[in-house]
């Protein structure tokens, strides 16, 4: 970010910014069938970096201003299991992690004005699921 960047406090809204990008990521997964009634699986999806070129309005802008913003969509991982308890009942369990702690700040770069930096500092997310 530029030295003359304007730092915004956490929770401040940039009002509106839009843009377009296509980015690549990757994922890998594996499954193991232990026996006829039990199996486990794991998967990982990579972080995906999105680089937006677009325009913004709001905060200090009366009209649309051209700008750029990079956003990293977080990596995720999951571990899941399946257990057939009997002919009519099965148990499924999973644990999912999302790397939101990698989302430290949101920086909007404007060639004609100061950059806007919004502190985020999100925390990782964990999801636990159990079903029958």
Spatial separation of the C-alpha atoms in residues 39 and 58, rounded to whole Å: 52
Does 95 map to a domain? yes
Does 53 map to a domain? yes
Spatial separation of the C-alpha atoms in residues 16 and 55, rounded to whole Å: 8
Does 33 map to a domain? yes
Q: What is the pLDDT of residues 37-72, one digit of tens each?
A: 999 999 999 999 998 887 776 655 556 677 888 889
Has this prediction a pTM greater than 0.85? Answer: no
Beta bridge partners of 131: 92
Q: What is the pLDDT of residues 93-118, one digit of tens each?
A: 999 999 999 988 888 887 777 777 88
Burial of 110-124, coded b for 16+ CB within 10 Å and e otherwise, reads beebbbbbbeeeeee
Does 23 map to a domain? no
CB 8 within 8 A of CB 23: no
Q: What is the overall mean pLDDT for the chain?
A: 85
Does 22 map to a domain? no
| Domain assignment of residue 88, given as a range | 6-17+29-131
> What's the total number of domains in the chain?
1
Does 1 map to a domain? no
């Amino acid at each position: 970010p530029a030295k003359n960047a304007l730092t915004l406090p956490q929770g401040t809204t940039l009002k509106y910014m839009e843009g377009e990008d296509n980015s690549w990521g990757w994922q890998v997964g594996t499954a193991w069938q232990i026996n006829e009634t039990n199996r486990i699986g794991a998967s990982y999806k990579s972080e995906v970096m999105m680089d937006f070129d677009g325009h913004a309005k709001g905060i200090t802008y009366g009209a649309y201003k051209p700008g750029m913003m990079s956003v990293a969509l977080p990596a995720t991982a999951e571990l899941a299991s399946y257990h057939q308890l009997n002919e009519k009942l099965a148990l499924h369990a999973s644990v999912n992690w999302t790397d939101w702690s990698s989302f430290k700040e949101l920086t909007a770069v404007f060639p004609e004005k100061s950059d806007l930096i919004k502190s985020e500092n999100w925390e990782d997310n964990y999801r636990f699921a159990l079903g029958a």
